[in-house]
Structure 1
Amino acid sequence: MGSTIISDNNNRAAAGVSGASKSMTMLIVFRALMGLGAAAVQRGKYMGVISAANGMGQVMGPLIGGLITDAMGWRWTMYINVPVLVVTAIPLTWLVRLKTPEGSIKEKLRRIDYPGIVTMCGGIVLILVGLNNSTTSGWSSVKTLLPIIIGVVLFVAFVYVEHKRTEPLLPLKLLRYRNVYTNMLGAMITGIIMYAGIFYIPSLFVALYQRTPKTAGIDTWPWMIGVVVASTGSGFLITKTGVYRPFLWIGSTLLIIGSFLMYSVRANSSFPIIAIYIALVGFGIGFRLTPVTIAAQAAVTKPDMALTTALINFSRSVGGLLGVAMFKGIQQGVFEPSAISLSAQFPDFSSQINMVFKGQTTSLALITDDYARESVTQAFVHSLNVIFLVSGCLACLGFLVSVFVKHIDLSVKNAATEQEETVICEKSPS
């Protein structure tokens, strides 16, 4: 119960500070803290309900976000989380019944894995900062490389710290199960591709069809419907059949096809065609959301299921955060040479082209010369094509990883797994 309330308080605080961010770096750091808080409240036994709620949130999120952005600005998409989380904290406090850990408050505070928290959070934040700096300073800049290198070092330190702790934030014994580490990697890949869609598909519609943020959010409905239908449908079928690996393979295949089709999008592509492409991507993501968690849970005993579920969701969230930062660097790196050339070719619209380069795609509508606007749109769409190409390659990697997922009977605890866990526990440092 304590960890649930603490993570909810963390979300409220981080949401408020995110809205007050003065730079992209601040926004990334505090948005990462929101993600860390959300990962802690996951529980395996409520996975079906949570998956459905997440799906509905993904359907409504872009639309509501577009409405809020149009009416009050992007900062309020962060501020709005504060009252929502305050309201949800009331039933969370009174209705959720969890076993209270033994010991006094002082003893519980001493048992918290502070070194693990610092090294893990520090590593994630520094890597995000480095990836974000790549958009302004380039990939070879010290401002880009130094935070990334230090972040990687902190992750190495995190593994060492967790190996020595008696109550680690991440019990390394779980990573000895193939279904845990393969599905953590698979969830991270899914998160990268999913957040790329959330972030860049609306931008594509703004560029191609001069949509507002609101209408661009509405236009993502084929992608969102695919996510919701496939995630809930696969969960239902897995419950009925006990088979989960085929859904990972189907989802990966649809992701590969959809992502590479999105790579073929051009400035004159019609919305119905793109709607089919993004629906394939949405169904691919949806078919992967539930099975990765179930496959990982199948490998562990009941006491470790909640932590395993949290690890899968955490991996997906980290993948999304890293993906957005990474793809921003890739997109701007591809678009920058064209932006410089087009600014020289069309000096009257250099300020609008610069705004598009910085991510304000709505500035395309301010370019009044048709030829200039078409040229900039083509260059911008090409930069998005590269993102979808990378997503397709990552989907291929996700398919390869899913091949190594073992099938473990969901109805009967695998005796070999039980015995293996006993051996691992005996070998774990005390």
Structure 2
Amino acid sequence: MTHAEIMRALSGLLLGMFAAILSSTIVTNALPRILSDLRGGQSAFTWVVTATLLAMTASMPLWGKLADLFDKKLLIQIALSIYVIGSMIAGLSQSPAMLITLRVVQGLGVGGLIGLSQIILAAMIPPRERGRYSGYLGATFAAATVSGPLVGGVITDTSWLGWRWCFYIGVPFALAALVVLHRTLKLPSVRRPGVRIDWAGALLVSASVSLLLIWVTLAGDSYDWASWQSFAMVGGSVALGALFVFVETRAAEPIIPLRLFRDRTIALASAVSLLVGVAMLSGTVFFSQYFQLARGESATMSGVMTIPMIIGMTAASTVSGWLITRTGRWKHWLVVGGVLLTAGCGLLGTIRHDTPYGQVAVFMALLGLGVGMTMQNLVLAAQNVVSPRDLGAASSMVAFFRTFGGAIGVAVLGALLANRVTGYASGPLAELGVAGGGGGAIPDMASLPGPVRGALENAYGHGVADIFLFAAPTALASLLLTFFIREIALRTRTDGAR
């Protein structure tokens, strides 16, 4: 494909990616208002985010395997259609349970859009040239991430629109992507007659991951971490995982080819993606609570204040992709990204509700630079070492571990935030004669008396900082693992030859 042909097809992929990421980020600043209207608490806040990540994580291996067997164009059109249906109905939600269920449907479509975009890009472009175009994906990711909270905040603060439009606004982009991809994306069909999908493997990996995520979300709230429920759920997840490995070793077309993990690059890239996902999601999810509940900002200003992080992500992904295409070298970007990611998380662990915004902005920018240098380049490293027939499985595997890490991180850190807020607020609130610690329900700060509001702002500021302190070791672990990834020259062809 010529550059012009690639750019025409890429425009459809970018529209689909924009819609997918927009749906994930647009609700972050709106969630305090949404859950206040729907009468949901901190657990519902976590689950609205986790539900989408859960569906994305569980479905990515299946989307990746289907891409190796069937028409990639048809698959991404199906993913877009699922996303549109889930978004339209999610806007009609009348309860937290209904909203969470529809977020699962959205997540199924988003998982296909994110995974298939990487796979289709790899099918069109050889690895040596892919860094340049991967930068466009990274920039789109960043643009959707920054516009999502901004648009979500404006919609939430605009009385004649309301938060339900947070779910409707991505639909036009998805429909436009459907039209553009139908007209411009031309890939050879790879349908292989007689091949059967490994449905048993898909079901087992989905059940194992889902059970583990449900456990980390409910533990410490509905039951103790050390309880029979915890042992049963963790034991069940491990047993399902072991059964999945057994099934995959005997499947003719495994949903996750375990032989790929024999390659050190893929194994390490997957592990690093898992750890990067924790740090990445902690920034995009919990900053809304920090700015709105700890600093008293509106939903709109909450989005504006996250711009430094997004600028860092955009600049890092675009510049690193361009330079990788020119030089063919990619490992040093992963190392520098790991250093910045660790530094950003550690410094954000020092913030409080009254920390000068200039300091917070610098720390957020470091976090964004680190994510931008690592996220797309880990996928590129894995794609570079597999044959074309395993391209979909390898691409979705790295994305799978990133979203899995993010889902685990959001669930665990969300539970930690509720616990920390309760601990930090209980003493000051008790002195004021107020019962409860404030970590269960999302408070309406504007309606609270000044002293109570001050106590909760301090508690949320300190609690969000603790989240980043817990995320910092995972970022450091990802940096240490990066040193062991062997740099292999990027291929200049898409057929597996060098």
Amino acid at match of 2:482: S
1:70 maps onto 2:160 in alignment: no
Could you tell me which runs of 5 or more consecutive residues in structure 1 were left unpaired when the two chains were aligned: 419-430
Partner of 1:22: 96
Deviation of 1:229 after TM superposition, in Å, equals 0.3
Amino acid at match of 2:179: I
Alpha-carbon contact 1:249-1:403 (below 8 Å) kept: yes
Deviation of 1:73 after TM superposition, in Å, equals 5.0
Aligned runs of 1:310-329 on 2, under 5 Å? 310-329=396-415
1:389 maps onto 2:463 in alignment: no
Report the more deviating stretch, 285-294 or 122-131: 122-131
Question: 1:404 aligned to 451, 462, 484, which one?
Answer: 484
Amino acid at match of 1:11: Y
Could you tell me which runs of 5 or more consecutive residues in structure 2 were left unpaired when the two chains were aligned: 1-72, 126-132
Question: 2:180 aligned to 81, 84, 91, which one?
Answer: 91
Question: 2:243 aligned to 153, 157, 171, which one?
Answer: 157
Question: 1:128 aligned to 194, 213, 221, which one?
Answer: 213
Partner of 1:304: 390
Amino acid at match of 1:275: A
**Which structure exhibits the higher relative contact order, with contacts defined as CA atoms closer than 8 Å and separated by 6 or more residues?**
2
State the alpha-carbon separation in 1 of the partners of residues 397 and 183 from structure 2.
26
Partner of 1:57: 144
1:149–1:76 distance in 2 versus 1, CA, 3 Å: farther
Partner of 1:270: 356
State the alpha-carbon separation in 1 of the partners of residues 113 and 403 from structure 2.
9
1:181 maps onto 2:248 in alignment: no
1:9–1:124 distance in 2 versus 1, CA, 3 Å: farther
Deviation of 1:227 after TM superposition, in Å, equals 0.5
1:373–1:145 distance in 2 versus 1, CA, 3 Å: farther
Aligned runs of 1:26-425 on 2, under 5 Å? 26=101, 29-30=104-105, 32-42=107-117, 43=119, 44=122, 45=125, 47-71=134-158, 72=161, 74-102=163-191, 111-134=196-219, 136-137=221-222, 138-142=224-228, 146-347=232-433, 350=435, 354=438, 357-360=440-443, 363-370=444-451, 372-411=452-491
State the alpha-carbon separation in 2 of the partners of residues 190 and 261 from structure 1.
17
Partner of 1:423: none
Deviation of 1:178 after TM superposition, in Å, equals 0.8
State the alpha-carbon separation in 2 of the partners of residues 341 and 146 from structure 1.
35
Deviation of 1:57 after TM superposition, in Å, equals 1.3
Q: After superposition, give the CA deviation of every residue in 1:116-175 in whole Å (9 maximum; x if it has no partner).
A: 221122222222222221353142355555444433332332222222211122111211
Deviation of 1:199 after TM superposition, in Å, equals 1.0
Match of 2:353, SS state, is coil
1:157–1:199 distance in 2 versus 1, CA, 3 Å: same
Q: Percent identity?
A: 27
Q: CA RMSD in A?
A: 2.8
Report the more deviating stretch, 6-15 or 324-333: 6-15
1:412–1:84 distance in 2 versus 1, CA, 3 Å: closer
State the alpha-carbon separation in 1 of the partners of residues 294 and 420 from structure 2.
18
Match of 1:164, SS state, is coil
Alpha-carbon contact 1:11-1:37 (below 8 Å) kept: no
Match of 1:410, SS state, is coil
Partner of 2:78: 6
Q: TM-score, normalised by structure 1?
A: 0.85
Report the more deviating stretch, 375-384 or 3-12: 3-12
Alpha-carbon contact 2:295-2:353 (below 8 Å) kept: no
- Give the total of aligned pairs: 405
1:337–1:209 distance in 2 versus 1, CA, 3 Å: closer
Would you tell me which structure has more helix in proportion to its own residues?
1
1:9–1:158 distance in 2 versus 1, CA, 3 Å: farther
1:321–1:300 distance in 2 versus 1, CA, 3 Å: same
